[in-house]
Amino acid sequence: MKKSFNIKAIFADKNTLYKYSVVKEGIIVSEINPVLYQNELGKFPQIQSDYEEVKKCVDKENKLSSIFDVCPIFRRVERVPDKIEADDYIPAAGLVSLAVLNAPEDWRDMKSAYSQMKAASNGKSFTPSYDYKKAQHPFSFFRGTLLHKFVNPATSPCPKFAKWLLKNDTTLMETKLGDFITKKFDIERSQIDTKIQNITSTKANPSFIGAKQFTTKSAFGELTARAMTRTTKIGAAVLGGLEAAHMVKEISDGENAIKATAKSAVNFASSIAGIGYGGAIGAKYFGPVGSLVGMGIGAIAGNKISDLID
């Protein structure tokens, strides 16, 4: 249960002891005027006590939120309440839509992680869909989601559009940036088989995707290639569009255009990089469980980095 504090502003020479108050999720958070606070500290011990307790409550709540970032569904909608409170409706709606769209695939990822943990607790071996220590399977914006059948030309009501979507449903590693990374770190690409079905797979003609193996002397280069293989072009474009909408809202509300642009750029880059690298590290060493935990930690790190510019 959240605790509320009714802290009254105290005046001294027409200057309030508190510079401002911000209501955040039912908790009143106040910043104390440092000059008056120093002069009046001995007279207002209760104010000091309340102020410190408020900070502890906020910090505790933020830590609890961070713990649940390992759940992909929660991570996608974590910032939706804040955006709605700030009347930032387009990004909020976009994040909810992404959460709904990816719910089936996120659920499968969690079930896979649960199966791995269950096997470990029972002393049994866990058989993954491929050797995740050697390779990384390419992520898809549509595979396993609610739009899976729509993007499959064989089952889509719009076959031509489905083919176009399928053609562009690739990862950042399959772009000019990916080619640059390959040359920069002298990466040799190869492929291994997986048990992950492709979008076009059917019962009569099953087909499976290949996991990408990156051979290089650079550990960072190999990790970067893995992270980019986990990041889809369409997903990056969608998140970039949502961040752009947020930037426009900030500027229209009076935020400095340069600062708003910098904040959005840092937030976008840190989120993409944090989740990509975190998930890549976790998946390589710990499989499905590591992938979820790694993405959660990466998301937390990305959020912390983006908050530094506020």
Do 255 and 108 form a contact (C-beta atoms < 8 A)? no
Q: How confident is the model at residue 46 (pLDDT cuts 50, 70, 90)?
A: low
Least-confidence region, from 75-84, 173-182, 188-197, 225-234: 75-84
Residue 28 — pLDDT band, cuts 50, 70, 90? very low
Helix (H, G, I), strand (E, B) or coil at 74: helix
Structure-block tokens of residue 111 = 């079930």
pLDDT of 221 > 50? The answer is yes
* CA dihedral over 123, 128, 131, 132, signed as positive or negative: negative
At 33, the pLDDT band (50, 70, 90 cuts) reads low
Q: What is the pLDDT of residue 85?
A: 85
Residue 139 DSSP code? P
Between the alpha carbon of residue 141 and those of residues 56, 57, 101, 124, 150, the distances in Å are 39, 38, 10, 33, 12
Q: What is the pLDDT of residues 15-24, one digit of tens each?
A: 444 444 444 4
pLDDT tens column, 238-251: 999 999 999 999 99
The pLDDT tens digits of the residues spanning 80-131 come to 888 898 889 999 999 999 999 999 999 999 999 999 999 999 999 899 999 9
Residue 57's pLDDT is: 54
Q: Does pLDDT of 262 surpass 50?
A: yes
Q: What is the DSSP string of 191-236?
A: EEEEEEEPTT--SSS--EEEEEEEE-S-HHHHHHHHHHHTSBHHHH
Using the predicted structure, report yes or no on whether residue 272 has a pLDDT greater than 90: yes
Closest CA to 139 of 39, 204, 231, 47: 231
Per-residue pLDDT for 12 more than 80? no
Q: Which residues 6+ apart lie within 8 Å of 297 measured at CB?
A: 69, 70, 278, 282
pTM, whole model, 2 decimals?
Answer: 0.77
Q: How distant, in Å, are the alpha carbons of 49, 188, 201, 223, 287 from that of 135?
A: 54, 12, 22, 11, 11
pLDDT value for 190: 96
pLDDT value at residue 42 = 52
Buried b (16+ CB within 10 A) or exposed e, 182-192: beebebeeeee
User: What sign results for the dihedral spanned by CA atoms 247, 250, 256, 259?
Assistant: negative
Residue 176 burial by Cβ neighbours in a 10 Å radius (0-12, 13-18, 19+): exposed
Q: Residue 66: what pLDDT?
A: 60
Phi and psi at residue 31, to the nearest 5° = -105, 125
The answer to whether the beta carbons of residues 145 and 234 sit under 8 Å apart is: no
Rounded to an integer, the average pLDDT of 269-296 is: 94
Residue with tokens 């929660």: 74
User: Mean pLDDT throughout 42-60?
Assistant: 53
Map tokens 């752009």 to a residue: 244
